[in-house]
Structure 1
Amino acid sequence: MPNSSSISEFLLLALADTRQLQLLHFWLLLGIYLAALLGNGLISTAVACDHRLHTPMYFFLLNLALLDLGCISTTLPKAMANALWHTRAISYTGCAAQVFFFFFFYSAEYSLLTIMSYDRYVAICKPLHYGTLLGSRACATMAAAAWVLAFVPVVSTAALRGCSQ
């Protein structure tokens, strides 16, 4: 008889063992989550609705707000559910999905922050060339590259993981 086992779920480390502290953690995480949703939602709405904010800096800020919404929505809802329902389990596929989206959003965010630093460099050091270097087409291409290139490390890691099995 061969020895075989499969992993179907993981147990997460609980933030606290007492029910009162778990509820406190839930309310604190909910407050953080709602503040992040509200702040990034307001940024997105302001940039989308006000035509004076349709500049490269605010376009990148809009993308950063959307990425931040994705980042915080990857892990916090499960942590809040675990604190509220007094559970510690996460399925293997749920964990894999969280890791995938976590790395995707954060790598895209780092790429976008690099692009934003280039935007500020051009605005400060080459103000006369700003319009030609950072036109709407160039900004859209750079933002799309940040989103698309975020898949490269995640997919290559998953491919390497699949080859080793």
Structure 2
Amino acid sequence: MSLKSDEIKKDFNFINDSLINVYDSIMRIEESELRKSRFKDITAKEVHLVHTIGLHDRKTTSQVARILKLSKGTLTANLNTLERKGYVMRIANQEDRRIINLGLTSKGRLLYRAHDAFHRLLVERFLKGFDDDDIRLIKQAMINLEDFIDEVSAK
């Protein structure tokens, strides 16, 4: 085996291990920070549901279920919890009363902004020291990863 392929294998293993460690660490940090904050009553998974709903989009329940790859029943249970906790509100669609749109309460919007700021800081640190060409390569790698996740999720 050539030196170059040994280096590539080491890089591959490093990236593999790093993806696992980064995911686990982000989830631990989010849970820990939530417990220390005014948002003690919410989990990291619930925060990501709030984030998916977004600040101004007024997504439908079907759109959110599709994005998060949740069944409508699971989403409904999660929405009931977030509504009871005061983060989310259901809004009747004015054009079609059968459709329910989702919005964030003021408490939900505050949580969204705090969570978004944390993730923006993560991305800034992740991209620190890279030039525009490097960032485009990283973007393509992320697209490749998302495409693979979508393929696996669709099975």
TM-score (norm 2): 0.29
Q: Is the radius of gyration larger for structure 1 or structure 2? A: 1
- Between 1 and 2, higher relative CO (CA 8 Å, sep ≥ 6) is seen in 1
